Chain A
Amino acid sequence: MPTIAEKILSGMAGEIVECEVDYIMVNDVTGVPAFEVFEKLERGMKKEKVVVIQDHYVPNKDVASAEQANALRNYARRYGIENYYEIGKGGVCHQVMIEEGFAAPGRLIIGADSHTCSYGALGAFSTGVGSTEAAAAMATGRLWFKVPATQKFVINGDLKRYVMGKDIILHVIGDIGVSGSLYNSQEFYGTAINNLNLSDRITISNMTVEAGAKAGIIPPDEKVFDFLRGRVRGEYKAVYADTGSEYEEVFEYDASEIVPTVAKPFSPDNTVPASELDVPIDQAYLGSCTNGRIEDLRVAAEILRGKKVNTEARMIVVPASENVFKQAIEEGLIQIFLEADVFVCGPTCGACLGGHMGVLAKGEKCISTTNRNFIGRMGHKDSEVYLANPAVVAASAIKGRITDPAELGI
């Protein structure tokens, strides 16, 4: 019996299939090479399927990135791409894809960005591709896929306070390793997953690529359908695995045993409980497609309310989209951050990939809600990134060292 991945791709694990894709997303880094390759094909553009989002190096960080963003803008104009998101209207590409109703259950979406797997939280099969593949799909509407085998992850039980979707996925990656799901799809089940809000589920699907997975899918439920009401573009049909689906492997975890977790440099599987670390930090970073949603900002603001960022450290908050930013202002969260001496800026991928807005100097350490802690990821090759949930990041900003929020006794 087929898994969700096998159903959406209409094939069995191991087969190479060619599928019609619903959407093709590109950003300012991957988009320009994609349009350049597309032009070599001398074909028409399936423009209704194409979504173009400026997010990586915007607002332009230097002349080279300004030229790149401008080239993308001009391509979008030339081909009449209606799904074009300029700064001020969009934000980090995956958040925009979700907020704007492109991502939906049962859909097949490709994006020229590895965290395209985020939409698995809404029951889509979505995966990262390169610029050439994006170009081919822009021209043909189709792409080849090797249907992945699926690993099943079952997480039952109640999560403790300050334990979030981030900790679940870091726990899983810490267990199976960064190549633990190479070429595979992941599916998530269990009461802990059912009880999570959509934002935390997106965090889980978002980081499945950090274990090498092609997709990380959570069966859609009422929370997803509610979110999509009045938002989704077109029709969609939820897809579920059949009972008796064949899984490559099954992993089970007890949610109550998962603690606030940190991935130490230089690999997302290098995980340890936050409470076991005593690492002084220079910077705390809250943002990105992984953890830059309103739910993440609320958690951090609750901890920072009436407190100050430690004088030995600094903190940066980057909402993942304009909508998140607006809502955070309306809810008074931005006011809390500003009073706590946090630097807040508009949505961008920013320092997550070492672009701008918080790049690290030699020897600096950053606790971050982002997704990767590779060598030099956020700046100098001798800087260090520690990955954690928004509560750990906020608590660490207050203490000036990596801190389990429980230690604050709030």
Chain B
Amino acid sequence: MRIWKFADNIDTDQIIPAEYLTTGDAKKLAANAFAKVRPEFSKEVKEGDIIVSGENFGCGSSREHAPRALLGAGISCVIAKSFARIFFRNSINIGLQLLEADVFDRIEERDEIEINFEDGVIMNHTKKEDYKFKPLPEFMQKLLESGGLIPYIKMQNSHLR
């Protein structure tokens, strides 16, 4: 597991440039994730890696291709100080784990971290520090636990019909 750090206002054009939007396939999209700004990402990223970012992660376009690309790349969680709202919804709706925490200045790319979602704690084993975060609202947690909006709707047969 490694950490990938990205600064503030990472827009969806950076996450997946528009010229690659002729597919919705997560794996194919992952091959071009951050192609313009960080070309090594798609080659080096591994299953379980974590993104740590600042403010307004995922701003710009509504393209669900952005969280799909990260899911396809094997990203297990995106931690950011804040998220752009469409990206936030899209991620939860497709089952990409997000959490809001202001830890950009605390976590380095080589740090070994572990996340306890139940208690809302990020443990930085390298620095021997813990950072608390506010768990998602219950409804959104339910969506994530179901695997996203589609499994959730299927489960809630009468609901949302």
Contact = CB atoms under 8 A, between A and B. Distances in A.
The reply to whether chain A is a binding partner of chain B is yes
A394 interface: no
Contacts of A374: 11, 13-14, 60
A37 B68 CA distance: 13
Interface string B147-161: 011100110000011
Interface in A113-163: 113-114, 116, 127-133, 135-136, 139-140, 142, 144
Contact of A114 (B55, B60, B94, B149): B60
A287 to B, nearest CB: 16
B80 to A, nearest CB: 11
A254 interface: no
Given A41-B154, A129-B89, A29 B149 contact: no
Given A64-B23, A133-B90, A179-B9, A113 B64 contact: no
A36 B62 CA distance: 17
Contact of A135 (B17, B19, B55, B150): B150
Contacts of A57: 21-22
A111 B65 CA distance: 15
A130 B148 contact: no
Contacts of B161: 140
B84 interface: yes
Contacts of B62: 30, 111-114, 116, 128-130
B64 A30 contact: yes
B63 A381 contact: no
Nearest to B20: A64
B150 A136 contact: yes
A179 B55 CA distance: 8
Contacts of B21: 29, 56-57
Interface residues of A, number: 52
Contacts of A111: 62
B59 A212 contact: yes
A135 B152 CA distance: 13
B154 to A, nearest CB: 7
A41 B150 contact: yes
Interface string B65-108: 10110000000000000101110011001100000000000000
Between B18, B94, B137, B139, the greatest number of chain A beta carbons within 10 A of the residue's beta carbon is seen for: B18
Interface in B1-31: 9, 11, 13-14, 17-19, 21-24
A267 B60 CA distance: 10
B53 interface: no
B98 to A, nearest CB: 14
A372 B13 contact: yes
A183 B140 CA distance: 15
Closest 8 CB pairs of A and B: A33-B24, A130-B64, A130-B90, A64-B22, A128-B62, A179-B56, A381-B36, A114-B62
12 contacts: A29-B63, A67-B22, A129-B89, A130-B86, A132-B150, A135-B150, A140-B161, A179-B59, A212-B56, A374-B60, A375-B37, A376-B14
Given A135-B150, A212-B56, 20 more contacts: A30-B64, A36-B24, A40-B150, A57-B21, A57-B22, A65-B22, A68-B22, A130-B86, A132-B93, A132-B148, A136-B153, A139-B153, A178-B9, A183-B85, A212-B85, A214-B85, A353-B13, A355-B19, A375-B37, A377-B18
